[in-house]
A and B are shown apart, each in its own frame.
Chain A
Amino acid sequence: MKALPTGTVAKALSAQVPEPTSAPHAPAPSNAGVPEPTSTPRAPAPSHTGTLSLPEDASTHGHRIDALLAWSHRFDAVLITVALGWLVLAVWRFRKAKQAASDGGTRRSRAWVLGLALGAFVVVDGTLLLGSEGYLRDVLWNFSVPSEDPRTVRIEINAHQWSWEARYAGEDGRFNTSDDVVTWNDLRVPVGVPVWVQLVSTDVVHGFSLPHFRVKLDAIPGRVNQTWFQAAREGAWEAACYQHCGTSHYRMRGVLTAMSPESYATWLREAGKQSAQAWDAEDVAAHWGWEWKAP
């Protein structure tokens, strides 16, 4: 690649390494020095299944959304075939026809229009509505799953221009204590366990998304939003900001690593010990965590 004209652009392009990038002002991740769990890849592999498909699904519930979307595509294909086929056929068949009908439809033909529209509406919109409602009831808005599961991992995420700061409660299970583990652009979760995220922003509106887990939630200053998901298998995937949040919005990238529950526990214990050693009670700004909000 030829030399690029400006520092910004050059930096932008050279920053394509798939390691979690810390914001310039971010302190060194507190997990520094912790031995990497060997079983987990630290860099996400290009894990696409094809251009015309959704990102690979690495969650335990995302398949329900994907199936509903697949249904909606089948309906889309039928609707577009009928609409465009009809249009093309009409133009082809009645182009410059010698005679044109003189009426604006009959009672019967208008009833057909209403009936067809109603039929398509009931089938297509009905499927989407019921399918969506099922997912909302069972997963997206059903916080009884993470709140009732004793294994649930809770993470507080603080969005900044332009990085994701994540806080784990540590072994005592309470936030804002000395054994909290804080990471930058580096989320770690155990496989097969509900992960419950509460999300805030310190500056502008950001959008926290895990495309491979079908997770999307706004980070808005002044409120705590929450969502939950569950990783289906080990691996590393990207977290992305989906709300325009300023100049370096495109670099607001993190990596989520799904680990075996054992390596996750080891990592959290080791990182928590290091945090406790570095704990500075005077550093108020570092204690941005909050008391976990009930659903």
Chain B
Amino acid sequence: MNLFASDHKAVARRYLWGGLGFLLLGGLLALIIRWQWAYPGQPVPGLAWAMPESHGAMTPPAYTAVFTMHGLIMIFFAVTPLLFGALGHFVLPLSIGARGLAFPRLSVLGFWLYALGGALVLGSFAVRLGPASAGWTSYPPLSTSVFTPSLGQTLVTVAVLCAAASSFLYGLNFVVTVVRCRAPGMTWGRLTLTVWGLFFASVLNVLFVPVLAAATALLLMDRLLGTQFFIAGAAAVGGGGDPVVYQHLFWLFGHPEVYILILPAWGMVGDFVAFFSRKPAHGYRLTAGAMGVVTALSGLVYAHHLFTSGMSPVLGRTFMVLTLLISLPAEVMYLNWLMTLWRGSVRLTSPMLAALGTMVVFGLGGITGLSLGAVATDVPLHGTLWVVGHFHLTMGAASFLAVFAGLYFWFPKMFGRALHEGLAKAHVVSSAVLFLGVFGGQLAAGYAGQLRRLYDPYQYTYLKHLLPLNQWTSACAFLLGAAQVLFIVNLVWTLSRGRVVGANPWKVGTLEWTCTPSPPPAWNYDPVPVVLRGPHALSQPEVLERLGRDWMGQAESFPEESETEPGQAEGVGGMSTSGGAA
């Protein structure tokens, strides 16, 4: 295997292994946090080798490093790389009928920047005083060298810069690829919803990741070069430093990042409910448009993270209105998914079960976020596990389930072998149910007032009674961790002796399934297909009648119409409603 190969499918596989590895690490760190909340200060099973002096028990400094690294690893090194690095790199060019990404060498550079960041993260665990510990948000002054002097904090800050550079590069690459490299006939109205999600999220990457990079770079200068961009009181000695400026910059990136992590998931859900209801997506244009509106609004809502920072009432009111506004397009999209299921012929394959699971956890996560968007109701919940449960349901559980929906769906195309359906179904269903247990438990604990990031919540008298609830939640979390064995076994078994499948095992019409074998050759398509219709041409009466099947390829023409011009093909009866084929 050539580690510098620039074929987008090879890059995708490298991101896949990297992302899954970090997902495992980030997940284990989460289980340590859950252990600490269930059995505070008691030795973590299997951790004595790492912390011999405490026999494996969490100490307060170790605990701060664990929750900090859990967040950073999951966001920058696991979920984003899996959604964009693995699924995005693999699917996006294939789905639009391109022979590759617009800038193949840039995608190699992006991967190696990610790998360098990942190496720094792993290395930071080995240095004295441990890895970063100032929270994934790295608020100064806590994250400056005065309060967190460890080398690990510096290494991880550099690692975040690497991950940011990598995200920016693939974001740019994806945007240019979608704009410039679509196959003939692949109009904007014929893109899969997955590509729409990836495209919008890539636009956000290009716009907002540089903001994170700037804030992180300034923070690094405060740590290493003695600047005082974010050191308060710097004004008194002639500078203009202010820690709040960092918070604004960070969340100007941080909130769009939430949508970066969920937009590709939304896209996949939109496609999969159509594919496996054997029916065109309901309101394709409305759904794509709603995702666009969310994208446009996502940069204008960030300051709800700062409702308790003492911001001016004018800002507070403005961001409250904008934040609540974003729920409208999300509701339109969600209702379209439900309408797609209705009057379909629902097939509960593993990608479909994962997509439905995504809908359930995302629905609950979205709804529990409403009370955080209004200032008054945010006050009692701000900084509690309610917030943690809410955003883990959306950008944790929903993104996770969508990653696995995509992986189960495209795995046959990536490797030519299909994962075992039974194991896959058991994996996604048990994961979805246990996610509800874990994050439902966190919502309840947060509502009762439990604050985030407490080494020992039971220091507080008013939280003592939550110990049984937290133990129950932790039990769900440990089971959730155990359920992942179903995937690992499936993966290892499938790669060596899984069922070899043909070009189109799911019987859908998109280009990657109908115009190229599994796995596709280096140049994807030979010749490049000429696209005739939208991505969801399912259960069309003409097709059923003339071809005897309920799907038709996006570039497929009826036998006697092999020379039809794309413009004429749109006239084929009933087709114009199949995913906005105009």
- Which residues of A approach B to under 8 Å, CB–CB? 4-6, 8-10, 12-13, 15-16, 18, 43-48, 51-55, 62, 64-66, 68-69, 72, 75-76, 79-80, 83-84, 86-87, 90-91, 94-105, 109-110, 113-114, 116-118, 120-121, 124-125, 128-129, 131-133, 135-136, 140-141, 161, 203-205, 207, 209, 211-212, 214-218, 220-223, 225-226, 237-238, 240-251, 253
Q: Is B103 among interface residues, defined by CB-CB distance under 8 A?
A: no
Q: Is the CB of A86 within 8 A of B338?
A: yes
- When the two chains form their complex, are residues A87 and B447 in contact, meaning their CB atoms are under 8 A apart? no
Q: Which residues in B have their C-beta under 8 angstroms from that of A110?
A: 282-283, 286
Asked whether B192 is an interface residue with its Cβ less than 8 Å from the other chain, the reply is: no
| Chain A residues whose C-beta falls within 8 Å of the C-beta of B283 in the assembled complex | 104-105, 109-110, 113
Closest Cβ of chain B to A94, distance in Å, is: 5
Q: Are B462 and A238 in touch, CB under 8 angstroms?
A: yes
Known contacts A113-B332, A125-B370; is-contact A216 B142 (Cβ 8 Å): no
A5 to B57, Cβ gap below 8 A? yes
B211 on interface, CB distance cutoff 8 Å: no
Q: Known contacts being A4-B41, A52-B448, A140-B379, is A117 close to B331, with CB within 8 Å?
A: yes
B462 touches A5 (CB 8 A): no
Closest to B364 in A: A80
Contact (Cβ within 8 A) B461 A209: no
Contacts of A248 in B (CB 8 A): 60
Q: Which residues of B contact A (CB under 8 A)?
A: 40-41, 43, 53-55, 57-61, 64, 133-135, 139, 141-142, 147-148, 231-233, 235, 241-244, 277-284, 286, 308-310, 313, 316-317, 320-321, 324-325, 327-328, 331-332, 334-336, 338-339, 341-348, 356, 359-360, 363-364, 367-368, 370-371, 373-377, 379-380, 382-384, 444, 447-449, 451-462, 464-466, 469, 536, 538-541, 550, 574, 577-580
Chain B residues near A220 (CB, 8 Å)? 232, 243-244, 309-310
Q: What would 7 A/B residue contacts be, using CB atoms closer than 8 Å?
A: A4-B57, A8-B59, A55-B448, A100-B279, A211-B449, A214-B379, A217-B310
Chain B residues closer than 8 Å to A216, beta-carbon distance: 308, 379-380, 382-383
Q: Chain A interface secondary structure, helix, strand, loop or mixed?
A: mixed
Closest Cβ neighbor of B368 among chain A residues: A76
Residue of A16, A129, A135, A244 contacting most chain B CB atoms (<10 Å): A244
Contacts A117-B328, A250-B456 known; A129 to B336 CB distance under 8 Å? no
Q: How far is the CB of A54 from chain B (nearest CB, A)?
A: 6
Please state if B370 and A243 are interface contacts (CB–CB under 8 Å): no
Are B328 and A118 neighbours in the complex by a CB distance under 8 Å?
yes
Which chain A residues lie closer than 8 Å to B41 at the CB level?
A: 4, 9-10, 12-13
Enumerate chain B residues within 8 angstroms of A46, measured Cβ to Cβ. 461-462, 464-465
Structural contact, A48 and B448, CB atoms closer than 8 A:
yes
- Whole-angstrom CA separation of A113 from B58 in the bound complex: 50
| CB within 8 Å for A101 and B328 given contacts A72-B377, A96-B346, A214-B380 | no
* Least CB separation from A21: chain B residue: B459
Q: Is the CB of A109 within 8 A of B447?
A: no
> For residue A218, which residues in chain B have a CB less than 8 angstroms away from its CB?
308-310
Q: Tell me, rounded to whole Å, the shortest Cβ–Cβ distance linking A183 to chain B.
A: 19
Whether A247 and B60, one on each chain, are in contact in the complex, defined by CB atoms closer than 8 angstroms, is: yes
**Known contacts A131-B374, A244-B64, A249-B454; A223 and B232 CB within 8 A of each other:** yes
Min CB distance A158 to B, Å, is 14
A116→B64 contact, CB < 8 A: no
Cα A64 to Cα B452 with chains together (Å): 24
A84 engages B360 (CB within 8 Å): yes
CA distance A279 to B303 in the complex (A): 43
**Cross-chain contact B59 with A9 (CB below 8 angstroms):** yes
Give chain B residues whose Cβ lies under 8 Å from the Cβ of A72: 370-371, 374, 377
A140 to B232, CA, bound (A): 26
Q: Are A242 and B370 in contact, with the CB atoms below 8 A?
A: no
Query: Closest CB-CB distance, B284 to chain A, in whole Å?
Result: 5
* Contact call B233/A221, Cβ cutoff below 8 A: yes
- Determine if A129 and B448 form an interchain contact, defined as CB atoms under 8 angstroms apart: no
Chain A residues with CB under 8 A of B58: 9
Pairwise interchain contact B454-A5, C-beta atoms closer than 8 A: no
Known: A220-B232, A248-B60. A99 touches B539 (CB 8 A): yes
Bound together, the chains give a CA A207 to CA B137 distance in angstroms of 15
Partner of A9, one of B57, B148, B244: B57
- Residues in B with CB closer than 8 Å to A105 are 282-283, 336, 339, 577
Our pick among B55, B449, B574 for the contact of A55 (Cβ within 8 Å) is B449
B457 touches A94 (CB 8 A): no
Task: State the CA gap A9–B456 with chains docked (Å).
Answer: 10
A234 to B451, CA, bound (A): 25
- Chain A residues within an 8 Å CB radius of B53: 5-6
Tell me if B550 and A100 are in contact (CB < 8 A).
Answer: yes
Q: How far is the CA of A109 from the CA of B336 in the complex (A)?
A: 10
Q: Are A132 and B374 also in contact (CB < 8 A) when A54-B449, A83-B334, A99-B539 are?
A: yes
Does the CB pair A205–B139 fall under 8 Å? yes
Is B244 touching A15 in the complex (CB atoms < 8 A)?
no
User: Measured between C-beta atoms, what is the minimum distance from A71 to chain B in Å?
Assistant: 9
A238 near B321: Cβ-Cβ < 8 Å: no
When distances are taken between beta carbons in the complex, the residues of chain B under 8 Å from A104 are 280-284, 536, 577-580
Residues of A close to B343: CB separation below 8 A: 94, 97, 100-101
B332 touches A114 (CB 8 A): yes
Please determine whether A91 and B341 come into contact, CB atoms closer than 8 angstroms.
Answer: yes
Q: Is there contact, CB below 8 Å, between A68 and B448?
A: no
User: How distant is the Cα of A116 from the Cα of B375 in the complex, in angstroms?
Assistant: 25
Residue of A nearest to B544 (CB): A102
- A141 engages B447 (CB within 8 Å): no
Given the complex, which residues of B lie within 8 Å of A18, measured CB to CB?
461
A69 pairs with B462, CB closer than 8 A: no
Residue of A nearest to B538 (CB): A100
A203 to B536, CA, bound (A): 58
Most-contacted residue by chain B among A10, A135, A247 (CB, 10 A) = A247
Which residues on the B side are within 8 Å of A43 (C-beta)?
A: 461
Considering the complex, give the chain B residue whose CB is closest to the CB of A78: B367
Q: How far does the alpha carbon of A209 sit from the alpha carbon of B383 in the complex, in Å?
A: 10
- CA of A161 to CA of B538, assembled, Å: 62
* Cα–Cα, bound, A247→B465 (Å): 24
CB-based nearest A residue for B448 = A51
Q: Cβ of A245: which chain B residues have Cβ within 8 Å of it?
A: 142
Cβ-defined partner of B60 (8 Å) among A8, A117, A129: A8
Return chain B residues, CB-CB under 8 Å to A124: 327, 370
Residue pair A131, B376 in contact (C-beta under 8 Å): yes
User: Is the beta-carbon distance between B375 and A136 smaller than 8 angstroms?
Assistant: yes
Contact B377 A211 (CB under 8 A): no
Contact partner, B346, options A69, A91, A121, Cβ 8 Å: A91
- Complex CA gap A117/B366 in Å reads 14
Which 9 pairs of residues, A with B, have the shortest CB-CB distance?
A: A222-B232, A221-B232, A225-B310, A242-B383, A132-B374, A90-B341, A104-B280, A117-B331, A132-B376
A51 touches B280 (CB 8 A): no
Pick the residue among A66, A98, A103, A237 that contacts B462 (CB under 8 A).
A237
B393 to chain A minimum Cβ distance, whole angstroms, is 12
Asked if A94 and B370 sit within 8 Å, CB to CB, the answer is: no
The answer to whether A240 and B451 have CB atoms under 8 Å apart is: yes
